[in-house]
Amino acid sequence: MSGSPNELRRWRTARGLSQLELAVRAGTTQRHVSFIEQGRSRPGRDVIMRLSEAMELTLRERNALLLAAGFAPAFPESSLDDDALRPVRDALDTILDGHLPYPAMVVRPHGILVSANRAFEVFHDDVDEALLTSPVNVFRLALHPDGLAPRVRNLPEWGRHITQNLRSQLVRSPDRSLQALLTELESYLPPLPPQRDVLGFSVPLELGSADGDLRLVTTLTSFATAADVTLAELHLEAFLPADERTAEVLRRRWG
């Protein structure tokens, strides 16, 4: 397997797998995995695909592993502006509108906003225009002192809900640019109150607004069955009311 450092070993280590565990998952032998990592065996394309699936790599990561082994990528990467993806864009717009009167958005990796529905404007109030200039980074918008941060009543907890999710991504898929973004975001967060040193499994967003405080919970939807790198990396995040008062405010503004 070409490439230095050895890509298979790097990804196996990032996933916390032993050679034996990976071999069992991929339907091969520990000896074969060891030989591949030592450069003593050149795996075929099908073996690389099985190893990629066994490590649960993303489509982008699978393409990279194939390239490191000297093979062409297996999965296309289309632009969202391509005519071929127009039906997908139309479907996403329909899904976003279907979440009204509640805010919803489609996001690319590293928090880059792709599109959002009208109710997403609830996050625009009192925000520096620079943070709303394309490409919008929703993580920076959420935690920057000139963004939502002054209106977030539970910033220490909710901010760490964001940064801990990003840190989990980094453990699985190390990425220098994502690490730099995480370091920036963490610099915006105040310390956790002593009585809140452990976060619960769900952290609502408590957001001040002209209509009073809103309480929102988030849901994430991925397009895991997509065979295109671009589509597979998209996530739809919807903000749902955590109480009836929040639901009433949102219905009144965007219902």
Closest CA to 11 of 241, 143, 171, 199: 171
Are 131 and 146 spatial neighbours (Cβ–Cβ below 8 Å)? yes
For position 172, what pLDDT does the model report? 87
For position 196, what pLDDT does the model report? 55
Q: Class of the 7-68 domain? A: mainly alpha
| Integer Cα distance of 160 and 143 in angstroms | 10
CA distances from 254 to 103, 153, 209 (A): 9, 23, 14
| Integer Cα distance of 5 and 162 in angstroms | 31
Three-state DSSP class for residue 116? strand
Residue intervals of the chain classified under CATH 3.30.450.180 are: 83-254
Closest CA to 234 of 63, 89, 121: 89
| Integer Cα distance of 67 and 73 in angstroms | 6
Tell me the pLDDT tens digit for each residue of 173-202.
889 999 999 999 999 999 887 765 444 556
Is the pTM higher than 0.85? The answer reads yes
For position 1, what pLDDT does the model report? 57
For position 198, what pLDDT does the model report? 47
What CATH architecture is 83-254?
2-Layer Sandwich (3.30)
| Integer Cα distance of 216 and 214 in angstroms | 6
For position 65, what pLDDT does the model report? 94
For position 2, what pLDDT does the model report? 53
- The whole-number mean pLDDT for each consecutive block of 10 residues of the chain, a chain of 255 residues, reads 69 93 96 92 93 95 93 93 88 95 97 97 95 97 97 94 93 92 96 63 86 93 85 94 96 93
What are the phi and psi torsion angles at 232 (to 5°)? -65, -25
For position 254, what pLDDT does the model report? 94
End-to-end alpha carbon distance in the chain: 57
**What tokens appear for 156 in the block?**
């220490």
Residue intervals of the chain classified under CATH 1.10.260.40 are: 7-68
